[in-house]
Amino acid sequence: MAFYFKEPSRTFNEYLLVPGYSSAEHTPANVDLSTPLVKFKKGEEPAIKMNIPMVSAIMQAVSGEKLAVALAREGGVSFIYGSQTIEDEAAMVARVKSTKAGFVKSVSNVMPTQTLKDILALKEKNGHSTIAVTEDGTTNGKLLGIVTGRDYRVSRMDPATPVKDFMTPLDKLITAPEGTTLSEANDILWDHKLNSLPILDAEGRLQSFVFRKDYETHKANKLELLDDHKRYIVGAGINTRDYKERVPALLAAGADVLCIDSSEGFSQWQADTLKWIRSEYGDTVKCGAGNVVDAEGFRFLAEAGADFIKIGIGGGSICITREQKGIGRGQASAVIDVAAARDEYYKETGIYIPICSDGGIVYDYHMTLALAMGADFLMLGRYFARFEESPSAKVNINGTFMKEYWGEGSSRARNWQRYDMGGAGKLSFEEGVDSYVPYAGTLKDNVGHSLAKVRSTMCNCGALTIPELQQKAKLTLVSATSIVEGGAHDVVLKEARNRE
């Protein structure tokens, strides 16, 4: 006879937090949102700890290199999407890692024989206003000069004008030798009133740039997440098919943490992948797994060697797995069940395996609910897809700016490996849709706004850390009528009157 869960499958919308005692010290400024990303033993510190409980989803429309840098600056981690060639994913990871805090590899480069038209095309493509002119047009070629917006006027110049005729040549540039510290480079910038400082090796080859604006950005991002070499921490997605080739390439590119990208993690394929990683690298390589929705699935992946475990099947805004296959579980029920299993495993073994709530977040307060229910951090797709830094196109739909957003199970993504059950290399049917989400501006502004709500709510619950929130939180189920009561009701909104 089939097993039946006694409780209904519940979503975050069905719960509210009940306030606890708040003392004078419970202010948002005192809240610490740091959280472990990977497992650790009792009494030890995790190898990677985030400063905010947010990671970006392993999706083509979400986790590109620009978003990875932007999120790391805020204290979280992006997982570069794996539904691309090994070479392209590794190159993305390498570019994020080369964005050393303060030292930026030049990705916009031209040869002196190229033209103003090429400069404008590069600026349109990469959004960079400073372009290096190197002997061979490569990132680390011999530097001959630079081009900035002050070097040309589009309205008065022929697009065919060679770069060498209007660039600022090397002999008029102030540069610094390889080995210059970030502090020294910033002093040079300020002393000479520069916007950029090229760093050259002994042969005059370009190594990186230091920009004045990055100094200000660094000072403004006190939570930025860096490795021991002052490079941004970044993750990468892998699948259960080509991991023997993909994992070494991603590690060589500098990936700090990996995650198996799959719609369902309670499988032999994930266990085999984790087993191979452990046999090749031991515990030095950190790799998460998932997704699961109950205690049995958590225990399976924990014993298989996962460094963190993702929760959620069918709860994503573009996911139609439940609709197509009738499989999944309400995200709140899944998080509560898996969190209890995580705590039980910790008591038994002394090993704490962080859990990640992936999907089901519609409103900002759902983030706080997920953390209170036991999640150590959240994986977000739609949330990050709305931002300027996501890889998808910004389009105008009926006068409103939108961002394209599609699921990894959609025909557009063609990510059949994510739904791998050992069969043929293709999607048998779609488990995701192709859609739009409203454009919301920059990541920094939105993440700051969302986490301000989380911090405030935690103070209402008498908690200053995520573990304390999980210990003190009081949650109540809500009825349909209490949901109506919780919003604006029995009034005429001014906006509605104005529209009439």
Query: What distance separates the 2 farthest-apart alpha carbons in the chain?
Result: 82
DSSP string, 110-127: E-TTSBHHHHHHHHHHH-
pTM check: above 0.85? no
Residue 178: which pLDDT band, with cuts at 50, 70 and 90? Answer: very high
pLDDT score, position 499: 46
Which of 11-15, 30-34, 398-402 bottoms out in mean pLDDT, i.e. has the lowest? 398-402
Report how far residue 442's alpha carbon sits from residue 444's, in angstroms, rounded to the nearest whole number: 6
Structure tokens at 114: 């190229």
Ramachandran angles phi, psi of 190, nearest 5°: -75, -40
Structure tokens at 259: 């995650």
Report how far residue 19's alpha carbon sits from residue 474's, in angstroms, rounded to the nearest whole number: 7
Percent of the chain with pLDDT over 90: 72
DSSP 408: T
Query: What count of other Cβ atoms lies within 10 Å of the Cβ of residue 154?
Result: 10
Q: Three-state secondary structure along 283-329?
A: CCCCEEEEEECCHHHHHHHHHHCCCCEEECCCCCCCECHHHHHCCCC
State yes or no: pLDDT of 500 exceeds 50: no
State yes or no: pLDDT of 392 exceeds 70: yes
pLDDT score, position 311: 97
Q: Please choose, from the candidates 106, 75, 104, the residue with its C-alpha nearest in 3D space to the C-alpha of residue 220.
A: 75
DSSP 212: H
Burial label for 364, CB within 10 Å (0-12, 13-18, 19+), is middle
Give the tens place of pLDDT for each residue, 326-355.
788 999 999 999 999 999 999 999 999 999
Please provide the average confidence, as pLDDT, over all residues in the chain: 90
User: Is residue 103 within 8 Å of residue 199, measured between CB atoms?
Assistant: yes
- How many DSSP H helices and E strands does the chain contain? 16, 24
Give the tens place of pLDDT for each residue, 23-79.
999 999 999 999 999 999 999 999 999 999 999 999 999 999 999 999 999 999 999
Residue 37: strand, helix, or coil: coil
Give the tens place of pLDDT for each residue, 213-243.
777 777 778 899 999 988 899 999 999 999 9
pLDDT score, position 419: 54
Q: Three-state secondary structure along 148-181?
A: CHHHCCHHHCCCCCEHHHCCEEHHHCCCEECCCC
Strand partners, 226: 232
Report how far residue 443's alpha carbon sits from residue 95's, in angstroms, rounded to the nearest whole number: 19
Q: Name the strand (E) or helix (H) holding 209.
A: strand 206-211
Structure tokens at 144: 């001959």
In total, the chain counts a number of residues equal to 500
Report how far residue 474's alpha carbon sits from residue 84's, in angstroms, rounded to the nearest whole number: 43
Structure tokens at 124: 């349109």
Report how far residue 76's alpha carbon sits from residue 387's, in angstroms, rounded to the nearest whole number: 15
State the catalytic residues.
Answer: 319, 418
Distances (CA, A) of 177 to 174, 185, 204, 241, 344: 10, 10, 9, 44, 55
Report how far residue 473's alpha carbon sits from residue 459's, in angstroms, rounded to the nearest whole number: 11
Distances (CA, A) of 191 to 80, 101, 103, 174, 187: 38, 20, 18, 11, 6
Which of 159-163, 214-218, 247-251, 289-293 bottoms out in mean pLDDT, i.e. has the lowest? 214-218
Q: Please choose, from the candidates 300, 326, 331, the residue with its C-alpha nearest in 3D space to the C-alpha of residue 315.
A: 331
DSSP 226: B
pLDDT score, position 434: 73
State yes or no: pLDDT of 401 exceeds 60: yes
Compute the average pLDDT of residues 441-450. 96
Distances (CA, A) of 310 to 29, 123, 129, 164, 211: 29, 38, 40, 53, 38
Residue 302: which pLDDT band, with cuts at 50, 70 and 90? Answer: very high
Give the tens place of pLDDT for each residue, 111-141.
999 999 999 998 887 778 899 999 999 999 9
Per-range mean pLDDT, top range of 211-220, 288-297, 306-315, 426-435: 288-297
State yes or no: pLDDT of 495 exceeds 90: no
pLDDT score, position 432: 62
State yes or no: pLDDT of 431 exceeds 80: no
Say how many CA atoms lie within 13 Å of 102 toward its Cβ. Answer: 18
User: Is residue 116 within 8 Å of residue 139, measured between CB atoms?
Assistant: no
What's the CA angle centered on 10, arms 459 and 478, to 5 degrees? Answer: 55
pLDDT score, position 51: 98
Report how far residue 462's alpha carbon sits from residue 468's, in angstroms, rounded to the nearest whole number: 8
**Rg of the chain in Å (alpha carbons):** 25
Residue 393: which pLDDT band, with cuts at 50, 70 and 90? Answer: confident
State yes or no: pLDDT of 275 exceeds 70: yes
Give the tens place of pLDDT for each residue, 146-158.
999 889 998 889 9
State yes or no: pLDDT of 413 exceeds 60: no
pLDDT score, position 343: 98
Residue 480: strand, helix, or coil: helix
